[in-house]
Amino acid sequence: MNIESMPTYDQSEQLAKATAGVAAFAAKRNDRWYPLDHIASDGGWINDPNGLCYFKGRYHAFYQLHPYGTQWGPMHWGHVSSADLVTWRREPLAMAPSFEAEKDGVFSGSAVVSDDGKLVIYYTGHRWRNGVNEDEGNLQEQCMAVSDDGVHFEKKGVVVPCPDDRILHFRDPKVWKQGDEWRMVFGVSTPEHKGEIWMYRSDDMVNWTFDRPIYRHPDPDVFMLECPDMFPLGDKWVICYSAMGLEPKGFQARNHNNAGYVIGSWEPGGDFHQETDFHLWDDGHNYYAPQTFQAPDGRRLVFGWMAPFTQPIPMEDDGWCGQFTLPREVTLAEDHLRTRPIREFAELDKDKRDFGPIELGVNESRDLVSDALTADIQMDIDLSSSQAERIGLELHRTPNGDHTLVCYDDQLERVVIDRHCNTYGDRGYRTAPVDKSAGSLKLRIIVDRGSIEVYVNDGLEVMSSYSFPADGPRAIRLITESGEGKAMITSLSIATPDTIWEGTGR
């Protein structure tokens, strides 16, 4: 494919318009739920993390952005960067639709550093087949853009056109270097509407040839695997994807779309051999389209999008919508992945207070904090000497009684995040399994202005959910419910993380 033949236009005008669009929202933004510790756009809608990388001394995170609305719309790429993964600064918007193949959206993709030291982005150029909406499917092709400074990008056009007119979804390239070659995987909905991940290979980053479908989803309901990723971890390979069409079953796959992974083995030139079941990345209400990358020290890091999925989505009225999860480190834990906040996050913590150990009777409560916009909570529970049926924390507790409950539930033998006492937003609960026979339970809970992340037993399970508190101070209360006996909290501390944004009060 001769990329020089693709017409490209100066996109600076589009970017200037989009920047003004974001600024108009930012000027009127209501900050009641706007994150202090999570990446979000200044204004407008965001979805997937894109182009995560380390380039010329800085970490870069891009994101799918609709600059003219607080709901999904024509996609652009927004951009933030950080020297240390702790504090972040906003960068100029990176890409706006500017040529025919991407005229309806600059969709998701990834970034790699070329051998000659350039930042190269692969992403999906998107068009509606009928010119207006998805009713007749999408026309999608993998495109390339190159940057010398990691901030300004020159588009190079289409590098992987869609080979079959009957394919209606063909997107989200993830690229890495494998030996002397480059590999690309992306999601495909086959002409039979089956979700697959296809692999391509290239010697020169420009000419790509089809290698094989590296993964075919076994479930006939699953028609598309969005945002696939494939990476080595220890002596294994992980394939992950965001599945469209997966039906809920018991505690599993309760969200509109669900992101997870399988672990197996792979040799270049061969097939992927799956060795584990499918696991969700995150058991919360709001998690989708994660992307991983390798930090220069070798750690595999993942950022997810806290997808708002279900109406009502009240932040839409506040001038912004959508945030990432905290960056998490991914490690192998036998047949699944452990994901926990990167260690650098603790550098933000201020005013750490110790409350434990605490012994609490049944149906009792203790007020711990009267007002917290952010919190980094660590709580260990001795399950073997606790008899209370539920032991946990009411978070975002406001004077009208609204709160989100995070607790261990002994009937379920699971950790629960329960939003049924909330005025704002979608309610409902989600759960994550606990091995009660271990005798103890370790919880780390990160509270932001509009979200809660729960890390169970050092990230063996994770739950991410929006939680939109009502007006007034936001208290934290320890509670126990029902059962005969008591709750034994062996340790409990609460710190107040500072904001991640450079120049805003740090």
Active site residues: 48
Q: E strands, 275-356, where?
A: 279-280, 288-294, 300-305, 320-321, 328-333, 336-341, 349-354
Cα distance from N-terminal residue to C-terminal residue, the chain: 49
Q: E strands, 194-321, where?
A: 195-202, 209-216, 224-233, 236-244, 258-266, 272-274, 279-280, 288-294, 300-305, 320-321
Report the C-alpha gap between 309 and 367 in whole angstroms.
Answer: 33
Closer CB to ligand FRU, residue 124 or residue 398?
Answer: 124
- Comparing CA positions, the residue from 361, 356, 329 lying closest to residue 440 is 356
* Measured CA distances, 458 to 159, 330, 441, 442, 445 (Å): 41, 11, 10, 7, 11
Provide, rounded to whole angstroms, the least separation between the CB of residue 135 and ligand FRU. 16
Provide, rounded to whole angstroms, the least separation between the CB of residue 180 and ligand FRU. 29
Closer CB to ligand FRU, residue 125 or residue 469?
Answer: 125
Closer CB to ligand FRU, residue 37 or residue 226?
Answer: 226
Report the C-alpha gap between 311 and 297 in whole angstroms.
Answer: 41
Provide, rounded to whole angstroms, the least separation between the CB of residue 168 and ligand FRU. 12
Residue type, 233: L
In the complex, the residues that contact ligand FRU under the rule CB under 6 A are: 47-48, 64, 75, 107-108, 124, 171-172, 226-227, 288-289
Closer CB to ligand FRU, residue 182 or residue 288?
Answer: 288
Provide, rounded to whole angstroms, the least separation between the CB of residue 109 and ligand FRU. 8
What's the CA angle centered on 262, arms 259 and 268, to 5 degrees?
A: 120
Strand 236-244 with 258-266, pairing: antiparallel
Provide, rounded to whole angstroms, the least separation between the CB of residue 9 and ligand FRU. 21
Provide, rounded to whole angstroms, the least separation between the CB of residue 211 and ligand FRU. 21
Report the C-alpha gap between 251 and 283 in whole angstroms.
Answer: 9
| SS3 readout for 427-470 | CCEEEEECCHHHCEEEEEEEECCCEEEEEECCCCEEEEEECECC
β-sheet bridge partners, residue 88: 501
Closer CB to ligand FRU, residue 102 or residue 394?
Answer: 102
Report the C-alpha gap between 156 and 146 in whole angstroms.
Answer: 7
Closer CB to ligand FRU, residue 64 or residue 81?
Answer: 64
